[in-house]
Amino acid sequence: MIKYGEIILKGLNRPLFEDRLVKNIKYKLYGLGEIKIRRCQATFYIVPANEGYDYDEAISRLKKVFGIIWISRVTSLEKDMAVIKDKAYEALVAEMEGKRTFKVEVKRPDKKFPLKSPDIQQDVGGFLYSKVHRDLKVDVKNPDITVMVEIREEGAYVYAHKEKGAGGLPLGINGKCGLLLSGGIDSPVAGYMIAKRGVELIGIHFHSYPYTSERAKNKVIELARLMTEYVGRMELFVVPFTDIQLEINDKCPEELLTVIMRRYMMRIAEKIAVQNGCGALVTGESLGQVASQTIDSLNVTNSAVSLPVFRPLIGMDKEDIIKISREIDTYDTSILPYEDCCTVFVPKHPKTKPKNDFCEKAEKLMPNIDELVEKAVENTEKIVIKTTGVVGANKQEY
Ligand code: ATP
Ligand code: MG
């Protein structure tokens, strides 16, 4: 049983969101065996067609599908109070360790069922209390365990265990963005946060071979691969950035090197993003983290492009970013040592308050730069990274 969250608020568009979620679920569970998905209010029931279904694997995959707020493993029971009470006891016992309070909550969409919700609640609650009163107390406001009883047309469902889902909106419902993906901690987290709002991603990585190594590039490919667990199939564009960096290094004033380099990154990323149907760029910048992430620097970087630039980490502390990167499993890869083109050519004293007109003036010192930009876009390598956990799917949609 899965419950979805925000989709409920989508009014007339709700079927569109639901259809997308169903599609994404089917895709994610591909290869585990035949399933049927039954929709019922804000709940989907995923019903395996055959015995021996790998529920644990299915649940661990479903936890990475955006749009789902929680998942429970349930059995459709006979609508008989004795059966329901036994199951409620079993569900409560399985959750009891270390807990102090519980309550019973009832939903009764099947209005033909002879007992009303408060009666069911009292009956099941009383039964459970008689069995566990030495260990647990009842707390209706803020219980440690909630035993849910749902009486529906097709059967009764009783459960107490919920696995937290990824939340957000179904992937693919909110367009596409170009993520500037470095090898660091921040950008995979930024991509995850935007994808969570239902956005498909392409990755754009700037590579300055031989100043940045093949190993650095492979690390980014690995990060993108880890991200596909959540964001689905991803196209990663690797831009050869060396010539542009050398040109900037050669011609521009030292204190502006980083910010001008970032302006060219944005310009190239914008071209690739537009070519690939993206409506915005995403970066892992966070206010004040480094000199190129002050308000003035961000302004100067922004004004190089006209696509909106989303910076989901802008108000977050590093600690919080690291926490998410651990949750999505990119942290261990992100902290492997590597060189980034941002770190190879760093000025000793970068300007923290750069101005647009200074940058524009400096950029005029590079008459061939547009050609170099065209060449970089032309020679960009596209790597398709397929979703992991989907073996043998011939239709790699998500
Ligand atoms: P991260 O941890 O993601 O590398 P950071 O804290 O190191 O970020 P910067 O190096 O200033 O910060 O980069 C800021 C943002 O610019 C990154 O989050 C990323 O979106 C983008 N970026 C930096 N380097 C690259 C690169 N080589 N290729 C693509 N994008 C990059
Ligand atoms: Mg970086």
Residue 180 lies inside a defined structural domain of this protein: yes
- Ligand 1 atom at minimum distance from 289 CA: 6
Range scoring the smallest mean pLDDT among 57-71, 89-103, 125-139, 351-365: 351-365
**Bridging pattern class, strands 309-310 and 200-207:** unpaired
Mean pLDDT across the stretch 314-320? 96
CA Rg, the chain, in Å? 26
Mean pLDDT across the stretch 380-393? 70
251 CA → ligand 2 middle, Å: 23
> pLDDT for 258-291, tens place per residue?
899 999 999 999 999 999 999 999 999 999 887 7
Enter the tokens of residue 392. 């043998």
Residue 169 lies inside a defined structural domain of this protein: no
pTM of the shown model: 0.90
**Ligand 1 pocket, 340 CB below 6 A?**
yes
> pLDDT for 195-237, tens place per residue?
999 999 999 999 998 888 888 999 999 999 999 999 988 999 9
Residue 242: the pLDDT is 95
Mean pLDDT across the stretch 10-22? 88
**Ligand 1 pocket, 180 CB below 6 A?**
yes
Residue nearest (by alpha carbon) to ligand 1 atom 12 = 285
pLDDT band at 318 (very low <50, low <70, confident <90, very high): very high
Range scoring the smallest mean pLDDT among 329-333, 339-343, 372-376: 339-343
- Ligand 1 atom at minimum distance from 180 CA: 30
Average pLDDT of the chain, as a whole number: 91
- Closest ligand to residue 189's CA: 1
Q: Is the pLDDT of residue 293 over 90?
A: no
Residue nearest (by alpha carbon) to ligand 1 atom 10 = 342
Residue 345 lies inside a defined structural domain of this protein: yes
Q: Round to whole Å and give the CA distance between 2 and 6.
A: 13
**Ligand 1 pocket, 290 CB below 6 A?**
yes
Residue 20: the pLDDT is 94
Asked whether residue 129 falls in the same domain as residue 84, the answer is yes
- Closest ligand to residue 205's CA: 1
Mean pLDDT across the stretch 57-72? 95
CATH of residue 157: 3.30.2130.30
Rounded alpha-carbon distances, angstroms, from residue 250 to 111, 141, 334, 358, 373: 77, 67, 30, 16, 16
Q: Is the pLDDT of residue 398 over 60?
A: no
> pLDDT for 336-363, tens place per residue?
987 776 666 677 777 778 788 899 999 9
Residue/partner pairs of 119-125 with CB below 8 Å, 24 or more apart? 120/81, 120/84, 120/149, 120/151, 121/149, 123/81, 123/85, 124/81, 124/84, 124/85, 124/88, 124/149
% pLDDT > 70, the chain: 96
CATH of residue 9: 3.30.70
**Ligand 1 pocket, 186 CB below 6 A?**
yes
Residue 166 lies inside a defined structural domain of this protein: no
Residue 168 lies inside a defined structural domain of this protein: no
The preferred substitution site among 186, 202, 236, 248 for testing ligand 1, maximizing ligand atoms within 8 Å of CB, is 186
* Residues 128 and 106: beta-carbon distance below 8 Å: no
Q: Is the pLDDT of residue 397 over 50?
A: no
Asked whether residue 182 falls in the same domain as residue 152, the answer is no
Asked whether residue 48 falls in the same domain as residue 135, the answer is no
What range does the domain containing 45 cover?
A: 2-72
Enter the tokens of residue 86. 């036994």
* Residues 68 and 62: beta-carbon distance below 8 Å: yes
Give me the DSSP letters along 193-253. HHHTBT-EEEEEEEE-TTTS-HHHHHHHHHHHHHHHHHH-SEEEEEEE-HHHHHHHHHHS-
Residue 6: the pLDDT is 81
Mean pLDDT across the stretch 61-79? 94
Q: Round to whole Å and give the CA distance between 47 and 44.
A: 9
Name the one residue in this structure whose structure tokens are 């690291």: 322
**Ligand 1 pocket, 84 CB below 6 A?**
no
**Ligand 1 pocket, 328 CB below 6 A?**
no
Asked whether residue 331 falls in the same domain as residue 207, the answer is yes
% pLDDT > 90, the chain: 79
Asked whether residue 85 falls in the same domain as residue 193, the answer is no
User: What is the length of the chain?
Assistant: 398
Asked whether residue 110 falls in the same domain as residue 150, the answer is yes
Q: Which one, of 216, 233, 72, 241, lies nearest residue 150 by Cα? A: 72
Domain closes at, from 72, 103, 128 = 72
For 393, the 3-state DSSP assignment is coil
Asked whether residue 90 falls in the same domain as residue 111, the answer is yes
Q: Round to whole Å and give the CA distance between 224 and 234.
A: 7
Residue 267 lies inside a defined structural domain of this protein: yes
Q: Is the pLDDT of residue 389 over 60?
A: no
Residue 390: the pLDDT is 45
How many domains is the chain partitioned into structurally? 3
Q: Is the pLDDT of residue 61 over 70?
A: yes
CATH of residue 267: 3.40.50.620
Residue 68 lies inside a defined structural domain of this protein: yes
Asked whether residue 93 falls in the same domain as residue 206, the answer is no
**Bridging pattern class, strands 176-180 and 200-207:** parallel
Domain closes at, from 135, 161, 187 = 161
183 CA → ligand 1 middle, Å: 7
3-state secondary structure 17-82: HHHHHHHHHHHHCCCCCCEEEEEECCEEEEEECCCCCCHHHHHHHHCCCCCEEEECCCCCECCCHH
**Ligand 1 pocket, 224 CB below 6 A?**
no
Give buried/exposed letters for 192-225 (b at 16+ CB in 10 A, else e): bbbbbbbbbbbbbbbbbeebbeeebbebbbbbbb
Residue 341: the pLDDT is 65
Residue 396: the pLDDT is 41
Asked whether residue 216 falls in the same domain as residue 296, the answer is yes
Q: Round to whole Å and give the CA distance between 324 and 190.
A: 10
For residue 81, which amino acid is it?
M
182 CA → ligand 2 middle, Å: 5
Range among 2-6, 140-144, 209-213 with highest mean pLDDT value: 140-144
Asked whether residue 63 falls in the same domain as residue 209, the answer is no
Mean pLDDT across the stretch 38-44? 87
Residue 343: the pLDDT is 67
> pLDDT for 161-207, tens place per residue?
999 999 999 999 999 999 999 999 999 999 999 999 999 999 999 99
Asked whether residue 87 falls in the same domain as residue 157, the answer is yes
Asked whether residue 52 falls in the same domain as residue 123, the answer is no
Residue 99 lies inside a defined structural domain of this protein: yes
- Closest ligand to residue 290's CA: 1
Domain closes at, from 113, 133, 161 = 161
**Ligand 1 pocket, 289 CB below 6 A?**
yes
Residue nearest (by alpha carbon) to ligand 1 atom 4 = 184
**Ligand 1 pocket, 182 CB below 6 A?**
yes
